[in-house]
A and B are shown apart, each in its own frame.
Chain A
Amino acid sequence: MNLVVCLKQVFSTEAKIRISPDGRAVSDEGVEWVMSPYDEYALEEAIRIKEATGAGTIIAISIGPDRCTPMLRSALALGADRALHLKDPMFDSVDALGVARALAAAIRRNPCDMVLFGRMGVGMDQGVIPAMVAELLGAPMAGLVVKITVDAEKVRCVREIDGGSEVVEMALPAVVTAQKGLNEPRIANLKGIMAAKKKPLDLLTAADLGLAAPDLQDVRLVHESYELPAPRTAARLLQGDPADTARQLVQILRNEAKVI
């Protein structure tokens, strides 16, 4: 069974979030980048499927700048056979649909039985790309999957739904997104890390993928602005009898908080 896993690099959950001066982006200065945690489940599942079926290849794909290389390398260390790094200045300004087009183009060139994603990239939390890719590939999709069973022609997925679970069956090729609980990702083996150096990690540009400027310049969604939540201030305890504290509270609400 041939599998593709799409990986996104995101801020480590410990990262301190800052907004860029123009307010239109989240600053990545000094931030540690990691594989999106849901993508780890997707990758782990692909490795388990390959181990269980004993055949096929796993291709890890990511779209992004140079900093993605270590993440792809660690995917190879964990068990992917090949990595594709989609890198092109043209990708910098695309929206989610542009990313989906690039991924779909790469997947079409590497036909597979199943494409696995994390349910969303942690941080931006959009979760729209898997559905777009499924649509572009004309493949069925199951999201928020917590259990996968495959055979030669179809895949059965258990999905988390409100208050219970649902079982769906899809003909292959199909797209699946991983939810927490699907598995417990392994830790890279030191021998795997060594072996990863010998596995192919190919760079592909927009041209390599047969994508032309019009495909990528069709930006329909722009990020207008970002805002941080207001900083939490320490609670203040008002002292005095009820009438007095009520008076103080009104003063504060009117003069300091300016909400009444």
Chain B
Amino acid sequence: MGTPAVKVREGTPPADAPETEAPAGAKGSGGFLTSPVSAAGVFVREMFTPDQLDFADTARKFVDTEVLPRLDEIEHKKTVTVGDAEMLLVVQILKKSGELGLLGAEVPEEYGGLGLDKITGMLIAESMSGCPSFSTTVGAHAGIGTMPIVIFGNEEQKQRYLPLLASAEIVSCYALTEPGSGSDALSGKTRAVLNADGTHYAITGEKMFITNGAWADIGIVFAGIDGKYSAFIVDLRSPGVSRGAEEKKMGLHGSSTTSLTFDGTLVPRENLLGKPGDAATIALNILNLGRMKLGFGSLGTCKFAIDRTVAYGRERRQFGRPIIEFDMQKGKLGTMVARTYAVDALGYRVVGAIDAEIAKLPKGEGYQQAVAGVLRNFALEASILKIAGSETLHDVLDSAVKMHGGYGFVEEYHVERLARDNVIDMIYEGTNDINRMVIVDSLVRAIYGGVIGSREYMEQVDSALRTGRLEIPAVDGPLGQEVARVAAAKRAVAFAVNEMILNCGTDIKNEQQVMQAIADALIALYGMESTLARALAGRARPIPAAIARLIVHEGSQAIARLTAEVLSHVVTGGRLPAKLARLDALNRQHGAVVDTMALRTRIADSVIEAGKYNL
């Protein structure tokens, strides 16, 4: 494990000393907010094993040779004939990826998969990117369409379905959303009624926007049994199932999105997943995985878009020079690269911590339930990853399109399609609004539940701010200033969270703009701390250090603004000026003069020289 190349001077409160024992926020639930800033124990991609790199290599090569050359055909839903059956090209490619084992990474070995850890699963998701229509087809099948059976299926269900799913001999989907039930996902009207013999449930209702709807063989379908919302494995080839027409979408044209209607569809009783009433547990755990996968897919697509843009910008000449050499373009590229690096750092930090927790679990009976418990503890971090990934990709693609000039607006250069495809990332797997609420909700629960020991911490912060004794450690060595700035930012966010709780109480639910600002502050904080940790773990080499400086600076500024906004809204009466002044003092003391323009240029230059994203 990497140790930080920083030395803490004497007089430093233990709260910020780099520790080797308890890595920052390693147990989820937003614990990073109250943990010391440290690179110790933070997993970074530089720690991948040779096997993990080989798996990623297979995934990347598969996409490069089988998917990318056929993007146009996938986009226009080309069909192919295999034997005497006709199928969509994208389904055929899905099946090919199954033959390589790419769909069974997280399926246990005894059921035909590889039983690999989450880091590897996510690395594969990152590597199978740049082709969102295909990736979403994979995600709906191997992620949300398969993982409910891995985690919640009984022995018989696993033996029956998992080998067929891992190889993609059958294709799956996940049917939760209904016309009247989207964000409020558990309010669906679909019903399941046990027949008189007690052998079958009859399912009736309509599901909406189901990925793989046109071609899935089975689906994880949610329906209420006497008011208890539950999940079933449903054979979609059985009578009483009808599939709606393809939605005419803004993007993801190569994927299938249809409604599924069930009219008394008979489902064998043994196809109930878990017990009646387990829908919430199943849906929420699966969402956590899905959100992380989405974040990693976005990360891969960010890198893909950067590579395309660098290649284009080196070729395209205007005013006698390659456009990538113009300063303004370097500024944009520097930002694209730095923010992508930040998502990478925070993403692998989350799954690294999850795998470390899972590794502690005893194998055997109840193992998968315990895994689900770990995933639940990381709901906050999973939402951060989903938002950071999808919104960073959004900004990266916005720049990529513009840097392509008029060619960014036409199909041929990929970025146009990617920009359309990315929009749904901010809507499905929980809209980003809903995910922001998950972040604050989880944090407040963890605080009230005493899970992250933050009460004492916040009191300390409060009194430190009151007395002006801020107790920010002075740190020597490279990036010492950044360590101090992240520590200060943590105090600012903790201060604002504390004020939110004190002043809003249980009314927080109605103060959604406050929740949004707090969520954004936490996302910025987690991103800057993870970026710093990754740069330190890599002994602060020049480019990662430049990125850390830039991200920490931008994050600090965003946090200063967001926390001031929160205070200005929640603190009432005459106390506001004094509190704002304390926040100001904190920000002023740990502000810094940073030449962000030079940093962006430097970061861009290194990527331009390499010809691709190389971090």
**Partner-B contacts on A (CB < 8 A):** 14, 16, 69-70, 73-74, 77, 187-191, 193-194, 197, 234
Tell me if B78 is interfacial: C-beta within 8 Å of chain A: no
Q: Tell whether A73 pairs with B101 under 8 Å between CB atoms, given A191-B114, A194-B114.
A: no
Partner of A70, one of B50, B102, B104: B50
Tell me if B312 is interfacial: C-beta within 8 Å of chain A: no
Q: Which residue of B lies closest to A69 (CB)?
A: B50
Q: Which residue of B lies closest to A188 (CB)?
A: B58
**CB of A168 to closest CB in B, whole Å:** 31
Q: Which residue of A lies closest to B66 (CB)?
A: A187
Tell me if B62 is interfacial: C-beta within 8 Å of chain A: yes
**CB of A138 to closest CB in B, whole Å:** 38
**CB of A87 to closest CB in B, whole Å:** 17
Partner of B51, one of A189, A193, A234: A193
Q: Which residue of A lies closest to B321 (CB)?
A: A234
Q: With a CB–CB cut-off of 8 A, which chain B residues contact A187?
A: 58, 61-62, 65, 100
Q: With a CB–CB cut-off of 8 A, which chain A residues contact B102?
A: 190
Q: Are B101 and A190 in contact (CB under 8 A)?
A: yes
Q: Are B57 and A188 in contact (CB under 8 A)?
A: yes
Complex Cα spacing A234 to B320, Å = 9
Chain B residues within 8 Å of chain A by Cβ, number: 22
Complex Cα spacing A16 to B55, Å = 26
Q: Are A197 and B62 in contact (CB under 8 A)?
A: no
Q: By DSSP majority rule, is chain A's interface helix, strand, loop, or mixed? A: helix
**CB of B338 to closest CB in A, whole Å:** 21
Complex Cα spacing A220 to B53, Å = 39
Instruction: Convert B85-127 into 0s and 1s, putting 1 for each residue whose CB lies closer than 8 angstroms to a CB of A.
Output: 0000000000000011110110000000010000000000000
Tell me if B54 is interfacial: C-beta within 8 Å of chain A: yes
Complex Cα spacing A70 to B53, Å = 10
Q: With a CB–CB cut-off of 8 A, which chain A residues contact B54?
A: 70, 73-74, 77, 188, 193
Q: Which residue of B lies closest to A197 (CB)?
A: B51
Q: Which residue of B lies closest to A193 (CB)?
A: B54
Partner of A189, one of B58, B105, B610: B58
Q: With a CB–CB cut-off of 8 A, which chain A residues contact B104?
A: 190
**CB of B323 to closest CB in A, whole Å:** 15
Tell me if B611 is interfacial: C-beta within 8 Å of chain A: yes
Q: With a CB–CB cut-off of 8 A, which chain A residues contact B320?
A: 234
Partner of A193, one of B58, B65, B99, B609: B58
Q: With a CB–CB cut-off of 8 A, which chain B residues contact A74?
A: 54, 57
Q: With a CB–CB cut-off of 8 A, which chain B residues contact A190?
A: 55, 58, 100-102, 104-105, 114
Q: With a CB–CB cut-off of 8 A, which chain B residues contact A191?
A: 101, 114
Q: With a CB–CB cut-off of 8 A, which chain A residues contact B50?
A: 69-70, 73
Q: With a CB–CB cut-off of 8 A, which chain B residues contact A69?
A: 50
Q: With a CB–CB cut-off of 8 A, which chain A residues contact B611?
A: 14
Residues of B56-82 at the interface with A, using a CB-CB cut-off of 8 Å, are: 57-58, 61-62, 65
Complex Cα spacing A193 to B61, Å = 14
**CB of A126 to closest CB in B, whole Å:** 27
Determine which residue in A70, A73, A194 has the highest number of CB atoms from chain B within 10 A of its CB, and name it: A194
Known A73-B50, A73-B54, A187-B58; 17 more pairs at CB < 8 Å: A69-B50, A74-B54, A187-B62, A187-B100, A188-B54, A188-B57, A189-B58, A189-B100, A190-B55, A190-B100, A190-B102, A190-B104, A190-B105, A190-B114, A193-B54, A193-B55, A234-B320
